[in-house]
Chains A and B, each alone.
Chain A
Amino acid sequence: MNLQEIIFFLNIFWSNKGSIIVQPYDIEKGAGTFNPATFLRALGPEPWNAAYVEPSRRPTDGRYGENPNRLQLYYQYQVLIKPSPVDIQGLYLDSIREMGIDFKEHDVRFVHDDWESPTLGATGLGWEVWLDGMEITQFTYFQQVGGIELEPISVELTYGLERIAMFIQQKDDVFDILWNDRLTYGDIRRREEFEFSTFNFETANIDKHVSLFNEYENEAELLLEKDLVLPAYDMVMKCSHIFNILEARGALSVTERTSYIQRVRNMAKTIAEDYIKAREKLGFPLLAKLNH
């Protein structure tokens, strides 16, 4: 399977399980969890079932396209289901097995790893899924999002697409992954890794990013006053990414870092609360449509 076939496969697999296939959200973010299809939809009583690819930016992980395992941008395949199905572990394992991985020959394991996103005020319990010792998926039962205790509980699956492709294609270097049958991951993305690593580590203007953070934060507050929760949340994603760049630039002391995280979290909390109120005003419409 090449990389795009893996994505096609997962889309069809989860579509058959009732997931809507959401598209990547067009704002930079550190993980698929930030996509409103996860962060916001995990909140409140309405059921939800979605799957999507999400480009995830981790500026500090950039290595200028020179390290076989590290990228400043990579692709997650994200599944969020609320409430969590009884046989979710089995469903997940089916999705891996059907990609051609035989668990009688390859050692699959659920290894304790609780998850926490301090910026999103989110926590969950679950595992890293190991395949022959390599983490290929983060499997999490959300407990809190935006500081709010969840009910019902959502389950989140985050597949590391590059790792799965490396495993299936037996490649030691991420840039050797076949994207389709003719072009490699490196053909498509190596230059991008180089330029963004340079930007993230060397050229991003610190003062401008600090002021951008302030501007977006300010904007989020104004939008919330006008009950525009969704645009306000866009601003939070912006802030979170700018914070990541400032960190990659080495511009933050440990103390400052804590205070930036706190600022993003405060916004995320308010948005989470306001989002639930907004859905309540609409009468939680998906309750009737999606409840089985």
Chain B
Amino acid sequence: MSEKKDLLIEVGLEELPHSFIENAMKGFENNFTGQLSNQKIEFGKVTAFSTPRRMTLFIKEVNINQNDYLEEKRGPSIEKAYLPDGSPSKALTGFLKGNNITKDDIATKVSENREYVFLLREIKGKDTFTLLHEILDITLKSLYFPKTMKWENTGFQFARPIRWILYLFGEAIVPFKIADVVSSNYTYGHRSYGNSRIVINNPTEYEKKLAANSVIADRYKRKLQLQKQIEKIIIPKGLEVPEIAKDLYDINNDLTEFPHAVICEFDKYFLELPVEVLTSEMIEHQYYFPLIEGSKGKLSNYFIAVSNICEKSKSVYGYQNVLRARLDDGRFFFNEDKKKGFSEYNEKLKTVTFHEQLGSMHQKIERIMKISEVLAGLVSLNNKEKASVCKTAELCKNDLVTLTVNEFPGLQGIMGYYYARASHYSEDVARGIKEHYYPRFAADILPSCIEGSLVGIADRLDTILGIFSIGLKPKGSKDPFALRRKVFAIVKIIISMKLNYSMRKLIADSAGLYSCQKSSALVMDEVEGFFLDRIKSIFTEMGFLYDEIDACISNVMDDIYEAYRRVLALHEYRSHKDFEDLLISFKRMGNILKEEKKFLFSEDLLIEKEEKALYRHFISVKDRIVENVNIKNYNQVYSILSSFKPYVDNFFDNVLVMDENMELRENRVGLLKIIINIFSDIIDISKIVPG
């Protein structure tokens, strides 16, 4: 058993960007412990500490020596190593000399089916202490940050300047230098309480000594403390932190070494502003927690600021003042924006470029309006709904040129809602404007109204067609316009709104809107292919199996929603064991049909009782199948399909399709063919792969 000591590394920094800290700490821990393992140095429990000003690893029970290990190195092959007389060749003597070894240190081993001379020697583990410089050096140099900087003359790059390094192995300072900073055995306390130099004699006393100097080094303990403080303030008041503010716990935690929650308030008359404006001001600019009255309640005029010091009374004034100034501005923007009628902003969209080659946002809007109109026709809306959709399309981007959205890009759509209402557009149109951006990310909510759905599809399809028309379609992992996500959104909307229409027709009718080098026929083909490809992977993500998708997707571009329903029905029915067996029987039928080109069918040529029974069953359910296929009741169709099971089994068990009599043979093939054909609109059974 090797002797063990505790190890402590603290990298002291000028404040790290709060958003970097979590990943940086993971990287720091993984890189460092990875290096220890590579060096065959055993270690015990690892604790990572972090504050904005420090990244720390505390590693218990690190062996003071590397483990001894066997060094192995391949030399020349046996044939090349020895001359015919058995004496060593030049290759072998070179290998010995090069590695500073004698014949005693080599052995013969097989590698890649040949015998080689191998260097095999027992290496005594080095002192861990001597390796620690290199380990930290590699760790820091390979640490990833989203953005790095230089600050001194060695040119070393890091997220923020390193100002001290505390590096202890047991009680000894590990010599280390990087970016002109030399390691020591001291750290610093909280900035506001003297920022004093604190000597750490032993790794185990680090956390306590910092705590005594107003620094809670443990990120999790610090967060817990912050959460408890906030609860203590808000619970008696019946207030809650809304869902949209939950990230603020981590953000504030990563901005403080000694967090203290402070309750503050703003003037109630600001509550007249849209709630999103208020919460954006608080959350995005100031990292303040907005508070709501009860879990779904109204926004309160209380909020919580997080201080980095324990004395709170004097800071409240400042926290409130900053917010008041911001809300004043927000109110100014909101009122300025409302001075113009919402439709007047349309003109200003001419000055906003959508894409160099695809023109302004105004031109985009004109295309969105045309696509929306075609789409409204395809899904057979009545005139009133159609008018509402077209109005939504016309207005949907107007808020992009308002002052408020300029200040808060995240409020696009939401401000459109308020401004449309202020200009007396209907609730449907206003909601459509807001919701046409939904879903904004994978797990986001979907539009709840037809206006938002159709305009959302039109907006995305316009971008897809536009980008394809100028030859910038996604390649490999490169999808700068997020077109894949746009198809995903379109499909989600179609399914959630149960929209039946031909995507192919919509694309065909829209492709002419783009004047481009490529022929619109080519663009249409490419975009259809892109959709088809995406739909398959979207369906896969939904949990459907490949063969189910293949079996149901043949005419998906004629109606994406029905294709989805067919896959869904098939997927659900497949969980019945009998149904799976039946599918396999039908697949056998299909295989036979593929080989047999000729067939005919006449009832008179049915001889065996099993084939007669199968036919009779077919006749008895035929009308119901046709009817259910027509009304797209796929579950019913599959239920009827299931009823074929005993007849099909009996048929295959007792009747030989490949009869020597060609007439009977063709007749039997014909029977199978008419049965299969009746289902062919909803499923291509040949694509099914037995599970």
Contacts and interface: CB of A to CB of B under 8 A. Distances in A.
Interface of A: 63, 67-70, 83-84, 86, 89-90, 93, 103-112, 114, 125, 127, 131-134, 141, 143, 151-153, 155, 167, 170, 172, 252-256
B167 to A, nearest CB: 18
B149 A143 contact: yes
Contacts of A108: 191-192, 308
24 contacts: A67-B329, A68-B328, A83-B152, A86-B163, A103-B192, A104-B309, A105-B309, A106-B315, A107-B307, A107-B315, A107-B318, A109-B15, A125-B149, A132-B315, A132-B319, A134-B321, A134-B322, A143-B150, A151-B155, A153-B149, A153-B150, A153-B151, A254-B352, A254-B353
Nearest to B311: A105
Contact of A67 (B149, B151, B332, B352): B332
B15 A133 contact: no
A26 to B, nearest CB: 31
B321 A172 contact: yes
Given A84-B152, A107-B308, A153-B152, A132 B318 contact: yes
B219 to A, nearest CB: 17
Contact of A90 (B150, B161, B195): B195
A253 to B, nearest CB: 3
Contact of B319 (A93, A125, A133): A133
A108 B315 CA distance: 10
Contact of B351 (A86, A152, A253): A253
Given A84-B152, A106-B315, A107-B307, A125 B325 contact: no
B14 A114 contact: no
B209 interface: no
A67 B329 CA distance: 9
B317 interface: yes
Contacts of B152: 83-84, 86, 152-153
Nearest to B19: A112
Contacts of B352: 253-254
Given A106-B314, A134-B322, A141-B149, A253 B329 contact: no
B571 interface: no
B147 interface: yes
Contact of B17 (A106, A112, A132, A170): A112
Contacts of A255: 351, 353
B506 interface: no
A114 B160 CA distance: 11
Given A111-B18, A125-B147, A172-B324, 15 more contacts: A69-B325, A90-B195, A106-B315, A110-B14, A112-B17, A131-B318, A132-B315, A132-B319, A133-B318, A133-B319, A134-B318, A143-B149, A253-B350, A254-B352, A255-B353
Given A110-B15, A112-B19, A253-B351, A67 B328 contact: yes
A109 B163 CA distance: 17
Contact of B314 (A63, A105, A134, A153): A105
Contacts of A70: 329
B interface, by DSSP: helix, strand, loop or mixed? mixed
Interface in B255-276: 255-256
B444 to A, nearest CB: 27
A103 B19 contact: no
A107 B309 contact: yes
Given A253-B350, A255-B351, A114 B147 contact: yes
Contacts of A67: 328-329, 332
B193 interface: yes
Contacts of B161: 141
A114 B17 CA distance: 10
Q: Identify the 5 closest CB pairs spanning chains A and B, nearest first.
A: A132-B318, A253-B351, A112-B17, A103-B192, A110-B15
B517 interface: no
Contacts of A110: 14-15, 52
A276 B135 CA distance: 40
Nearest to A125: B149
Nearest to A258: B353
Contacts of B14: 89, 110
B153 interface: yes
Contact of B255 (A69, A111, A134, A254): A111
A108 B20 CA distance: 20
Given A67-B332, A112-B18, A103 B191 contact: yes
B328 A69 contact: yes
B307 A127 contact: no
Given A131-B318, A132-B317, A112 B325 contact: no
Interface string B159-191: 011010000000000000000000000000001
Given A86-B163, A133-B322, A134-B321, A103 B309 contact: yes
Nearest to B180: A86
Interface centre among B19, B149, B155, B160 (most CB of A within 10 A): B149
A93 B149 contact: no
Nearest to B310: A104
Contacts of B324: 172
A253 B354 CA distance: 12
Contacts of A256: 351
B286 interface: yes
B305 interface: yes
B306 to A, nearest CB: 9
A133 B328 contact: no
Contacts of B17: 112
